[in-house]
């Protein structure tokens, strides 16, 4: 796994071994960033369920002002921190080893872009979407990676469905707060 473009282009990122971690493929990651390519520069990013941190690191590499990474797994948080250090983004990134709900309930920061890639088929994605209102900026974008066929709501809180993309057995669903035209 590697950083696709930007300041850390081509840098390899470490991931955890085992079946509990499912890194986003380069093809899906590139597609996600094509969707938000004009929304990254100078923005605040939340990589919830961060795994090894590749989505937030990619965002910072492409010009995001900062990224916050949250994962309840100690091993995932440690690998994320290792990856951040390996690309030299320590001054732009914070890592929290916390459950997503605990993090969101205590977070006062607001984010422009939020990545959600929780464990599949657990119901956590819908639960997490319903808890995001307090951390959304006015025109936030939320990008969800999930199994194709998993039904997500048309709206949840202040988020409205924007678009859905299919990549084999995976899907990426995008929500926006505010205007969903264009």
Please give the pLDDT value at position 31: 87
Give the tokens for residue 128. 């997490």
**Position 164 in a domain:** yes
Please give the pLDDT value at position 161: 95
Report the alpha-carbon distance of residue 118 to residue 131 in Å, rounded.
14
Domain count, the chain: 1
Boundaries of domain holding 134: 99-177
Q: What's the CATH number where 150 sits?
A: 3.40.50.150
**Position 163 in a domain:** yes
Please give the pLDDT value at position 91: 97
Report the alpha-carbon distance of residue 128 to residue 114 in Å, rounded.
11
Report the alpha-carbon distance of residue 82 to residue 68 in Å, rounded.
14
Length of the chain: 182
Give the tokens for residue 122. 């657990």
Tell me the pLDDT band of 20, cut-offs 50, 70 and 90. low
80-118 pLDDT per residue, tens: 999 999 999 999 999 999 999 999 999 999 999 999 999
128-159 pLDDT per residue, tens: 999 999 999 999 999 999 999 888 999 999 99
Task: List, in sequence order, the alpha helices (H) in 19-163.
Answer: 26-35, 54-61, 74-87, 100-106, 124-130
| DSSP notation for 147-158 | ETT----SEETT
**Position 67 in a domain:** no
Tell me the pLDDT band of 18, cut-offs 50, 70 and 90. low
């Amino acid at each position: 796994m590697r950083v696709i473009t930007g300041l850390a282009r081509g840098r390899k990122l470490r991931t955890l071994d085992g079946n509990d971690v499912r890194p986003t493929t380069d093809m899906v990651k590139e597609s996600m960033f094509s969707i938000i390519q004009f929304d990254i520069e100078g923005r605040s990013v939340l990589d919830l369920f961060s795994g090894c941190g590749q989505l937030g690191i990619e965002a910072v590499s492409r010009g995001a002002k900062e990224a916050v990474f949250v994962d309840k797994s100690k091993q995932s948080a440690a690998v994320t921190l290792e990856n951040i250090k390996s690309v030299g983004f320590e001054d732009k990134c914070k890592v929290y080893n916390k459950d997503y709900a605990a993090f969101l309930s205590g977070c006062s920061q607001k984010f422009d872009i939020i990545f959600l890639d929780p464990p599949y088929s657990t119901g956590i994605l819908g639960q997490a979407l319903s808890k995001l209102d307090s951390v959304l900026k006015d025109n936030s974008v939320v990008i969800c990676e999930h199994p194709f066929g998993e039904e997500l709501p048309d709206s949840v809180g202040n988020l409205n469905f924007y678009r859905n993309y299919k990549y084999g057995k995976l899907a990426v669903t995008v929500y926006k707060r505010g205007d969903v035209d264009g």
